Amino acid sequence: MKLLYCLLLFLCPGVSNAQVLNIGDTLPANVAQYILKSPVFNPITTSLDNKIIVLDFMATNCSACIKKLPELDSLQAQYGNKIQVVLVSNQKPVHFTRLMSREPYANVKLPVICNDTLLAALFPHQYLSHVVWIGPGRNIKAITHAHYVRPVTIDAMLAGTRTQWPVKNDFTSYSKRQPLLAMNMENVAEESLPALQQYSSFTAYLPNVVQQYNTRWDSLGNTLKFTLVNMGLADMLLHLPGMRHFEKSQLLLNVPDKKQYQFDPATDLREDWYAAHGHCYEAVFSKAVDARRRQQKMLDDLAWYFNVSISVQKMRRPAWVLTDADSSLQLPWVQKNSRGNDVPLGNLLYYWNNRYTEVPMIDKRANKRRLYLPPGLPFSNIPQLQKVLPAYGLHLKMQTEEVMMLVITSL
């Protein structure tokens, strides 16, 4: 691999000092050759000419990246010679050897370029995963997040009907240290600035700014600042201080169009949705304001800005309830080292409760001890789970439970 890389640099002067490539640029022929010849795993055996090349910059310690791999592999099989998905990483091959020895990644046959520095220099980024789309003629067509790699977008790229997707740009001048809005210094002289400022502000989506939330104490100004950037209403509520114990499954929307308030990765393209429905909110409080009053003020603000009512209610709701069956069949934590690929039971609860289903999953086992499940269980397929779990000493059933719900209602 190192010999090949050095040979390419020797044969292709200028590659080592390559300039950043952007949408509309043409990928140099020598870089295309590097992509063709460099995979350490699953070498590319056919020409890349006239294919859509999808470069997926990823890492084995990026959970979202590896979760996407079986889907990418299925898409490669579905589209055959029309596309070529290539995984690109700065990691050593040993990391992928370990990953590909585990289910469900053992059957992934995508080519992997390891120890990469060249492509990362041509397409700089800070956050994974990072996807570059290269069309016929080596024309760079789009730079997106990995969730844009799906049949609807591949079909559009192949047909040339739409490639003007939001560009993934990880580099911005936005600083979380600075206020979202600031006092107009052209109107208020420095000597006239107040000793204390408390306010809340609300704006539309900020293009090319990474979604984030943060809390900052200002000891000089004696204030506490909460900032939520490029989020929908549901995201904002679940990130508010004092509300973070709520799961997505505990959010109940009594509104005509739920899509205005919560992003659905199964149907929505992330950047498109947030550009249309994302907002920014910031609140600055004196340190003298206690936590309960701060929380209520922020809930009231968001309700007013979005023209909804927001309340926390204890109610009887349908819920999936996990209980003990035969504890002798359960896989306790002490067996983890010997079983290697087992999945923590908590992953099932997280998977289900981290979705906007309005049906929570509740753990009502007697001792709540840490258990493991075998790999490959279909977390999204409840009927199949109900058939499989008894073999591991667990029952899963739907019943009515008293649960706390975060309720949004249209006005």
Q: Which of 69-73, 187-191, 287-291 has the lowest mean pLDDT?
A: 187-191
Give the pLDDT of residue 166: 85
Residue of 83, 45, 85 whose CA lies nearest to 65: 85
Residue of 73, 71, 93 whose CA lies nearest to 84: 73
Give the model confidence (pLDDT) of 77-104 as tens digits: 999 999 999 999 999 999 999 999 887 8
Give the pLDDT of residue 336: 47
**Residues carrying CATH 3.40.30.10, the chain:** 2-159
Answer whether 0.85 is exceeded by the pTM: no
Q: Where are the beta strands (DSSP E) in 124-236?
A: 130-135, 139-144, 199-204, 212-218, 223-231
Instruction: At 409, list the tokens.
Output: 């209602």
Residue of 265, 353, 279, 294 whose CA lies nearest to 67: 265
What angle do helix axes 151-159 and 63-79 make, rounded to 10 degrees?
50
Q: Which helix (H) or strand (E) holds 69?
A: helix 63-79
Peptide bond preceding 129 in cis form (omega within 30 of 0): yes
Residue 320 has pLDDT above 90, yes or no: yes
CB atoms within 10 A of CB 160: 10
Give the pLDDT of residue 341: 66
The sheet carrying 130-135 orders its strands as: 112-113, 83-88, 52-57, 130-135, 139-144
Give the pLDDT of residue 367: 81
pLDDT (average), residues 136-146: 93
Give the pLDDT of residue 4: 41
Q: How confident is the model at residue 6 (pLDDT cuts 50, 70, 90)?
A: very low
Give the pLDDT of residue 189: 85
Give the model confidence (pLDDT) of 145-200 as tens digits: 998 999 999 999 999 886 678 889 888 888 888 888 888 878 888 888 887 788 99
Give the pLDDT of residue 194: 83
Residue 16 has pLDDT above 60, yes or no: no
CATH superfamily for 2-159 is: Glutaredoxin (3.40.30.10)
Residue 18 has pLDDT above 70, yes or no: no
